[in-house]
Structure 1
Amino acid sequence: MAESRPDGVDVVATREQAVGMAMPPLLVLDAVGEWLDGQGIGPVGGALSWERIGDGQSNITYLVRRGDGPDATRFVVRRGPRPPLPPSAHDMVRESRVQRVLGERGVRVPRILGVCEDESVLGVPFYVMEHLDGVVVTDTDPPALSSAQARGRASEAVVDTLVALHAVDVADPAVAALGRPEGYLARQVRRFAGLWPEVSTRELDDFPVVTTWLADHVPEQAGSAVVHGDYRLGNLMLDASAPGRVLAVLDWEMATLGDPLADLGYLTATWSDPAWEPTVMDHSSVTRREGWWSRADLAEAYARRTGQDLSALGWYQALAMWKSAVFCEAMYTRWLRGERAGDTTFAPFLEEGVPGLLARARSHAGLGA
């Protein structure tokens, strides 16, 4: 029998059940099982059970269990959304390559077990990675973070992990192949400014205002580093018993080489802080609780560890909110077109959420209301 979430978004079925469905299933059990057999992943012919994990709003991640008893294996399947997809977006093949390169250089990432480029299996490429037994913190503190002291250690680990990522040698040929750091900031502004008319069907006055300000005030690049692109608490897996230790950094779709302060700007602009009104990009409301560091604490700790000048941090924070507005507007437009049918938890709120992100970008830019 086909299975789905109550909102109908997440359909898992067999090939036979998928025939005639209005929307293709996101996970085709027998097709994935056959592919796993061919890759030697898990017990051959083992039954599959699944669970949707993660809080991602675009790419989809499943915890899959294969087989029963002591020989059962657990792993994670990650795929993009249903087509049609924007050019160069949701590239799971590239994301898996990034993880392999960085994992070989000491960055804490899940180990890649296999990559499927054959779109006949699920309709899009996907990859399989190891399952790690940790916790991802969003809106609830796990037991290990029950004290303010433990939450402070977790905050410190967030910064230390980012500092370690930015210390990866970008002259290493395999790392250097991941991107072109020169001119990164100006390219970001040009790229996302060009995306807006492709993803939006409405006029929002703040978008051109912020776009012009960003283009006119691009700071001197603060160096070259591996940039995660979506570095936030919800993309970190913490050790369940030792919250001051990060087991892995997740979701590498946006990773490239560029300005390290782009990651810090994004982290601080999206970090839930009681001193700031939340936006739709505040995905980890738990950090409003006592013990978690503030946005200023995160920035100061990063500056101490790296020696970076953060006088232009507001520009990077404005960039983060502006880019988020573009991503969220794309989701909202797809929802309006029926391509995110059943999404009642995020996309409908973007009608006001996207203008809110642009207003926050204006604030970081010092442009007033």
Structure 2
Amino acid sequence: MNDVYERTTRGGWFDVSEEYLDRLVDEGSLSDYLTDELGSAEEFTVTRHDQGHSNETLFVEWGDREFVLRRPPAGETAETAHEVTREYLVMDALQETPVPVPTTVLACEDESVLGAEFYLMERQHGDVLRTDEPERFQSETARERLSEEVIDTLAAIHSVDPAAVGLDDFGYPEGFTERQVRRWSEQFTWAFDVTGEEREVPEVYELMSWLTEHAPEGHPHMLVHGDFKLDNLMFAPGTPPDLTAVFDWELSTLGDPHTDLGLLLLFWQEPDDPDPPIPELMPTFTAKPGYLSREELIERYERESGIEAENLRFYRVLAAYKMAALGEMFFRRHLEGNAADSLYPKMRDGVPRLAKRTLEMAKGSGDVSL
């Protein structure tokens, strides 16, 4: 089943990861809750989606309705990580805005139902571009349009008036960027408590110092997604490319929009770039003819958002540092047996490679063209 695990009303979990999956979903408890909230259904199916690498994603069929259920992973997580109800809050607020988000259904803060908070949204169908592009987008015209859809959507997020959609108290934008450096340093520290017994990543400590020293003192205050990259975007079936949904809002807040732009640029490969340090996380197909260059993305972003893009070496380094921290958190969860993700053990070597490359970028010996 290619790492997709299913439980239905007609049987049990399929696959060797039954123990972990039973920790994610109590079928009876979820069925009772959905019956109380949505009414009864004759058919009930739960399928685990294996493509996400942070919060758990499950597909739920409830009668003739299709939902996506999001909940934290099983086991101990770093403080403030995996805030799924935060995802629900921001997507619910953005329903009537130009930002494309799935239709929200309900949020459950009662941890007695599944052992953690969770929420449901309507399932959408289309393509999420992870390691390659669908055949229908393999023309220079389609690739250019796709690039424009991506950067215009980021500009739309940063153009939302938080007060107008009820998100004026969604975060503390003052000092956001400095707190980001501290937060991801704390996530590293949490992970190192376990992973440090397996191997060390000394470059991380140099990066902590560099980022602290170079963090900008001021920045615009906008709604930020926190994880804006291609594998968190869905394109509708058909052509030309139509970006129909932005997912994974767990890191969203009010803060510095340059952090979103820096992350997108980190994941946007160009023809002369070196191979990515973690190939499983960093696609290379944007280096193909037709995709906008990073410089062109920046120019279009500035035009569409009215925000001047500046100090982008810092923001790309911060983005890479964040990805390395997430990878180290994944590795800890693997070592503790709190995950069923084939990516996690690869972080043993992937995080040190990424940290080394990031330190080179910070010092100016890597790709610092931005």
Q: TM-score, normalised by structure 1?
A: 0.87
Deviation at 1:66, TM superposition (A): 2.7
Q: Is the 8 A contact 1:138 1:285 kept in 2?
A: no
Structure 1, 281-290 or 109-118: larger mean CA deviation: 281-290
State the SS of the aligned residue for 1:257: strand
Q: How far apart are the structure 1 equivalents of 2:115 and 2:8?
A: 13
Deviation at 1:174, TM superposition (A): 1.7
Q: How far apart are the structure 2 equivalents of 1:98 and 1:47?
A: 30
State the SS of the aligned residue for 1:319: helix
State the SS of the aligned residue for 1:119: coil
Partner residue, 2:146 = 154
Q: Is the 8 A contact 1:153 1:243 kept in 2?
A: yes
Q: How far apart are the structure 2 equivalents of 1:289 and 1:367?
A: 26
Partner residue, 1:32 = 30
Deviation at 1:351, TM superposition (A): 1.4
Partner residue, 1:322 = 321
Q: Tell whether 2:77 aligns with 1:85.
A: yes
Deviation at 1:364, TM superposition (A): 2.8
273 and 60 in structure 1: CA distance in 2 versus 1, 3 angstrom threshold: farther
Q: Is the 8 A contact 2:7 2:45 kept in 1?
A: no
Deviation at 1:334, TM superposition (A): 1.8
Deviation at 1:145, TM superposition (A): 0.9
Partner residue, 1:224 = 221
Q: How far apart are the structure 1 equivalents of 2:132 and 2:2?
A: 22
Q: How far apart are the structure 1 equivalents of 2:296 and 2:82?
A: 33
348 and 257 in structure 1: CA distance in 2 versus 1, 3 angstrom threshold: same
Q: TM-score, normalised by structure 2?
A: 0.87
State the SS of the aligned residue for 1:136: coil
Unaligned segments of structure 2, at least 5 residues: none
Pick from 127, 130, 146 the counterpart of residue 135 of structure 1: 127
Aligned amino acid, residue 217 of structure 1: H
Q: How far apart are the structure 2 equivalents of 1:282 and 1:222?
A: 28
After the TM superposition, which residues 326-345 of structure 1 pair with which residues of structure 2 at under 5 Å, given as runs? 326-340=325-339, 342-343=340-341, 345=342
State the SS of the aligned residue for 2:66: strand
62 and 137 in structure 1: CA distance in 2 versus 1, 3 angstrom threshold: same
Aligned sequence identity (%):
36
Deviation at 1:129, TM superposition (A): 0.5
Partner residue, 2:237 = 240
Q: Which has the higher contact order (CA 8 A, sep 6+)?
A: 2
Partner residue, 2:54 = 58
Query: 1:36-74: CA deviations, max 9, x gaps?
Result: 111116xx232123443462112121222233xxxx221
After the TM superposition, which residues 1-369 of structure 1 pair with which residues of structure 2 at under 5 Å, given as runs? 10=5, 12=7, 22-23=19-20, 24-40=22-38, 44-53=40-49, 55-67=51-63, 72-172=64-164, 174-200=166-192, 201-202=195-196, 203-276=200-273, 277-280=275-278, 282-340=281-339, 342-343=340-341, 345-368=342-365
Output the aligned Cα RMSD: 2.5
Deviation at 1:218, TM superposition (A): 1.2
